[in-house]
């Protein structure tokens, strides 16, 4: 009997210890999870908030709201119908000849006051504050006619206030297709806006007396991505007439991809030579390379500038080019390869088994064959990590392109172009296109990391090990 009692005590004690172990384990897991969640919000939160703000008509609203009119399904349906009425297209709309655009709006009238019929007008409004405003030839105000505003519903609420719904129609009376159909509706002070066919872009102008719409017939896609649409449509080069933002993206992709290709080729070859070949001065070259990594870029800035100005010691003059300033060649040559890239590849190649090289040499393979057929294909993890790091560095580079590229504007990279947005939109406190441009500039890096993240993790882990 006593034996059974002791056994029962031991079982109870063991179960209690097991429970405590499980509890501590779950506490550690929960703590780690909360820590990861905190850092995720810390790093991803600003990007998500910036993305939501870039969709808003007024990113500077205070207090900030998570609700965005552009993400409401009711507004999607409304913009689709209005786009169909404007030009027969629901997703990408315009204001075309013969268009008949119906619209409804509802107001709340305080107790003791009689409803006043709103004043409806199609304003002569320019698209933003950029060079696109100078290129506009046709305005919807010159080719539109607004019908009489008609009261269709009147409802008296329990508190004595009155809710009134009005309707009107906008007609296109000309023969020119117009990109935008803006609208302003004005009511007396105190007559409160409730709802409309489409939520207004600026509902609180002049103490709520004016409700304003940027474009009634935009269609679904330009409505949701209004600021993004402006980024691509409102910025032109006055000298060449090209779309600036599209040109900036192409330029940044060209420079970044070129740098990636040259870096992967030269860094892998140099890393292989330093890791697997024996030649005089090998260690000295490696030490010199490490020393160059310790020198800040500001120290060599002026010398690099002079080298490009003189055409790389006059070599470019042999090809008819006096200077590499204001030239993509200057940006590419200055970033052909970096010491850090060579170091990463050297560390990776040193971690590969020496038996691979020995077996290849026994079979009669040359050094070039060993590199291109054996070591280079095995270097995918390191090359993936190097691709991300190089592309990120070239894509986000700002100061050096700002100095090298001066004119015209369509030759700028994306980072320099976004700086000009501060002068275009910032002075008018129009921060929507600035945020939209910033989000677009971050998307290629996000996509690149998602695609190469496996190689990035493997490459970083391998380059820190020795074989």
For the chain, the domains span: 69-224, 244-463
Running along the chain, 467 residues long, what does each successive block of 10 average in pLDDT? 56 71 75 71 76 84 80 93 92 92 94 90 76 71 93 90 95 91 91 93 77 92 89 77 84 91 89 84 83 77 78 70 76 80 86 83 84 85 85 87 81 86 74 87 84 61 47
User: Cα angle at 305 between 300 and 306, to 5 degrees?
Assistant: 105
Cα distance between the two ends of the chain: 63
* 372-384 pLDDT, tens digit each: 888 888 888 888 8
Residue 465 carries which DSSP code? -
pLDDT at 1: 52
Structure tokens at 397: 């580079």
Six token digits for residue 262:
């040259």
Sign of CA pseudo-dihedral 385, 390, 391, 396: positive
CA distances from 322 to 232, 284, 309, 314, 330 (A): 34, 35, 8, 8, 12
The span from the CA of 256 to the CA of 267, in Å, is 16
CA distance 454 to 354: 25
Predicted local distance difference test score (pLDDT) of residue 108: 93
Q: How far is CA 67 from CA 35, 54, 240, in A?
A: 28, 13, 40
Task: Answer yes or no: are the C-beta atoms of 438 and 50 closer than 8 Å.
Answer: yes
> pTM score, two decimals?
0.79
List the beta bridge partners of residue 211: 185
Report the alpha-carbon distance of residue 330 to residue 405 in Å, rounded: 9
- Say what the pLDDT of residue 129 is: 58
Please report the pLDDT score of residue 171 as a whole number. Answer: 96
Closest C-alpha among 360, 365, 338, 358 to residue 271: 338
Cα→Cα distances 272→275, 324, 365, 391, Å: 5, 31, 16, 22
Question: What's the confidence (pLDDT) of residue 200?
Answer: 92
Instruction: Count other Cβ atoms within 10 Å, centred on residue 112.
Output: 8
Range 244-463 classified under CATH 2.130.10.10: no
Sign of CA dihedral 258, 261, 264, 270: negative
Tokens of 464: 């820190």
């Amino acid at each position: 009997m006593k034996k059974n009692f002791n056994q029962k005590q031991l079982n109870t004690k063991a179960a209690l210890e097991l429970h405590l172990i499980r509890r501590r384990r779950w506490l550690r897991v929960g703590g780690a999870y909360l820590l990861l969640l905190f850092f995720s919000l810390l790093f991803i939160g600003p990007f998500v908030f910036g993305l939501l703000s870039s969709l808003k008509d007024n990113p500077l609203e205070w207090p900030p709201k998570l609700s965005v009119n552009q993400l409401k399904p009711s507004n999607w349906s409304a913009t689709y119908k209005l786009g169909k009425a404007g030009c027969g297209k629901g997703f990408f709309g315009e204001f075309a000849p013969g268009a008949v655009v119906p619209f409804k709006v509802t107001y709340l009238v305080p107790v003791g006051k009689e409803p006043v019929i709103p004043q409806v007008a199609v304003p002569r409004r320019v698209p933003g504050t950029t060079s696109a405003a100078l290129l506009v030839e046709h305005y919807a105000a010159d080719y539109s006619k607004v019908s009489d505003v008609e009261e269709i519903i009147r409802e008296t609420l329990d508190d004595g206030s009155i809710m009134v719904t009005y309707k009107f129609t906008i007609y296109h009376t000309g023969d020119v297709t117009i990109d935008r159909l803006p609208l302003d509706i004005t009511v007396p002070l105190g007559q409160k806006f409730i709802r409309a066919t489409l939520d207004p872009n600026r509902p609180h102008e002049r103490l709520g007396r004016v409700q304003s719409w940027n474009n009634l017939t935009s269609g679904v896609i330009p409505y949701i991505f209004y600021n993004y649409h402006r980024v691509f449509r409102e910025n032109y080069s006055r000298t060449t007439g090209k779309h600036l933002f599209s040109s900036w993206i192409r330029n940044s992709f060209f420079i970044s991809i070129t740098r990636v290709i040259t870096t992967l080729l030269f860094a892998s070859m140099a890393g292989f030579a330093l890791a697997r070949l024996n030649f005089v001065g090998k260690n000295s070259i490696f030490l010199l390379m490490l020393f160059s990594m310790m020198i800040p870029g500001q120290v060599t800035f002026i010398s690099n500038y002079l080298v490009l100005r003189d055409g790389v010691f006059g070599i470019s003059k042999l090809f008819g080019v006096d200077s590499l300033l204001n030239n993509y060649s200057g940006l590419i040559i200055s970033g052909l390869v970096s010491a850090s890239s060579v170091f990463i590849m050297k560390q990776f190649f040193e971690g590969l088994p020496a038996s691979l090289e020995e077996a290849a040499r026994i079979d009669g393979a040359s050094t070039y064959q060993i590199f291109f057929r054996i070591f280079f294909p095995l270097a995918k993890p390191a090359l993936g990590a190097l691709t991300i790091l190089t592309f990120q560095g070239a894509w986000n580079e700002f100061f050096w392109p700002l100095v090298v590229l001066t004119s015209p504007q369509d030759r700028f990279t994306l980072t320099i172009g976004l700086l000009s947005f501060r002068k275009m939109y910032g002075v008018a406190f129009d921060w929507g296109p600035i945020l939209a441009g910033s989000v677009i500039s971050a998307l290629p890096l996000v996509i690149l990391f998602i695609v190469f993240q496996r190689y990035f993790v493997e490459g970083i882990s391998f380059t820190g090990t020795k074989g």
